Structure 1
Amino acid sequence: MERVTTFDGATIALHSTGTGPGIVVVHGGGVTIDVYRRFAAALADRFTVHLYNRRGRGDAPARALPYTFDQEVSDLAAVLAHTGAGNVVGHSAGGLIALDAALRLPIQRLALYDAAISIDGSFPASWLPAARAAAAAGDLPLAMALTAAGINTHQAAARLPLAVRVVMCRLFLRTPIGRMMGDLLPMTLDESTLIAAADGPADRWAGVTASVLLACGGRGPRYYVTADDALAAALPNARSMQIPGSAHDGINRAPDNLVEVFAEFFATPVAPRSGEPAR
């Protein structure tokens, strides 16, 4: 494990595996890098995959306050500079961070999976005030029930009576992953608030010149499809696709059909700009 010094003097632990061109993973909200280890291992025979916990999680330093995505982009810049990698994967909220970074940093290839990017109101946000109020009141099962239904609009469970969903979340919070997601829920709510605040037209991202893969799960919420298609039309070097059979956690489960799509994307030479060789 290596240590990366950020631009504000904090230290990030870098967990790397594999051999070959480097890929940096920007993980989603509500989890740590532990749920991405299967994905990293599946690519390790062809790529060096770098995982790091975003601030406030696992072995990462605390977040600076007030919290903004600017510090996340700054941390990613430090990791890219340390590793020399030009390839980035962003998942969920990490997808918005990675896309924002691609406007500012020398990222060559950017693969997003279920990226939480709101295009003209596509990201659902009406649930946020009630969920934040429940969390502030210390009612974690209620806050989690409201969050889960608000984000997972496609699931039948989201349409169950609220009391039933609260009971389900209370049971889920007794599991190891439930406890982790419960502990990190305040950060999930903060990130969801920033995602909603970053809403806008797709062409605001048109300055991203990296080669971009906009992937989403075929079994996930449809608002990812809407946003990806709009972004694919607005970005100069982007395409969108759905991964059959995968849900929002598809990248964590790392089925073969998903892994091969990502591996092929990162192995494809980047179309050169005028006067530059292919990379």
Structure 2
Amino acid sequence: MDKNILSRDGTSLGYESAGRGSAVVLVSGAMSTGATVAPLAAPLSERFRVAVYDRRGRGASGDTAPYAVEREVEDLAAVIGAMGGEASLYGVSSGGALALRAAASGLPVRHVAVYETPYAMSGDALRERAQYTERLTAALAEGRRGDAVELFLRLTGLDEAVIQGARQSPLWAGMESLAPSLAYDDAVMGDGSVPRELLSSIRVPVLAIAGDGSPAWMREAARAVADAVPRGAYRVLEGQTHMADPEVLAPVLAEFFAR
């Protein structure tokens, strides 16, 4: 990140921007930094001024205790301010939940697009999320960062052998460094259910997207978001999974943001 701004509570946030035109801010999900969404910024910057930033506690950004979801909304407000005072938002996975919360809070947002925000769509899934929250909180309180990462990877459905292989990977140390921020994404997701009351208060257009190669519940969650907001739309991308191809996703976002 080549620039820094201060959030309302004094936390330094690393961000960078490219392109010209109306502003778009990309919001990353769990276990990721702004670099994760940077490949999407490149094609979008041909039509928009696009910002990527490291959410607090990650990458080039600082952190200030105690954490609250409201502080992350203020972080987004600071980035939007640096981009001219108004922007469209794109959030992937739990970053989508943060983008939706920001829009509901009344930030100067023109559009919100979210990709596969992982809201639980069954009672069993809600119970699994509650158990995850309890175990994650304990692991982080006891300094067991590796166990925290394992808990998250299991929640995403990764096979146990893949998880143990990842633990032997040179990338594992970087994953452990991001482990404390898992609590932040967990807080952003609330109890894991679709926050219909919050979504019903959003007055700007919202596009909820999912890939047809992802589990069916991901598409159900995206449709639920679109149905809950007054100006919602739902889109399925053919051949895409939770890691969508930026060259496929960017034209869809560009069309939506240009409206």
Find the counterpart in structure 2 of residue 125 from structure 1: 129
1:33 is displaced (CA, Å) by 1.2
What is the distance in 2 between the residues matched to 1:24 and 1:145?
A: 30
**200, 203, 223: which is aligned to 1:209?**
203
| Counterpart check, 1:54 vs 2:60 | no
Q: For residues 87-137 of structure 1, what are the alpha-carbon distances to aligned partners after superposition, in whole Å with 9 as ceiling and x for unaligned?
A: 111111211111011012121111111123456756550541345445555
Shift in alpha-carbon separation, 1:93–1:193, aligned structure 2, 3 A = same
What is the distance in 2 between the residues matched to 1:130 and 1:217?
A: 30
Residue identity matched to 1:5? L
Find the counterpart in structure 1 of residue 68 from structure 2: 68
Shift in alpha-carbon separation, 1:146–1:64, aligned structure 2, 3 A = closer
| Counterpart check, 1:264 vs 2:258 | no
* Structure 1 segment 10-21 matched on structure 2, within 5 A: 10-21=11-22
* Structure 1 segment 93-172 matched on structure 2, within 5 A: 93-103=94-104, 104-118=106-120, 124-128=128-132, 129-134=134-139, 142-152=147-157, 157=159, 165=160, 168-172=162-166
Q: For residues 147-203 of structure 1, what are the alpha-carbon distances to aligned partners after superposition, in whole Å with 9 as ceiling and x for unaligned?
A: 222223xx6x3xxxxxxx1x5324313445443223212321442255243635524
Deviation larger for 103-112 or 222-231: 222-231
Shift in alpha-carbon separation, 1:201–1:35, aligned structure 2, 3 A = closer
* Structure 1 segment 230-269 matched on structure 2, within 5 A: 230-250=224-244, 253-254=245-246, 256-268=247-259
Maintained 8 Å contact 1:21/1:47: yes
Q: What is the aligned residue count?
A: 253
Shift in alpha-carbon separation, 1:119–1:235, aligned structure 2, 3 A = farther
Q: What are the ranges of 5 or more consecutive residues in structure 1 without an aligned counterpart?
A: 158-164, 269-279
Find the counterpart in structure 2 of residue 81 from structure 1: 81
TM-score by length of 1: 0.80
Deviation larger for 99-108 or 182-191: 182-191
| Counterpart check, 1:225 vs 2:219 | yes
Maintained 8 Å contact 2:194/2:221: no
TM-score by length of 2: 0.85
Maintained 8 Å contact 1:215/1:241: yes
Shift in alpha-carbon separation, 1:193–1:12, aligned structure 2, 3 A = closer
Larger radius of gyration: 1
1:238 is displaced (CA, Å) by 0.9
What is the distance in 2 between the residues matched to 1:189 and 1:220?
A: 24
Q: What are the ranges of 5 or more consecutive residues in structure 2 without an aligned counterpart?
A: none
What is the distance in 2 between the residues matched to 1:17 and 1:23?
A: 10
Shift in alpha-carbon separation, 1:176–1:232, aligned structure 2, 3 A = same
Quick one: percent identity of the two aligned structures? 29
| Counterpart check, 1:32 vs 2:33 | yes
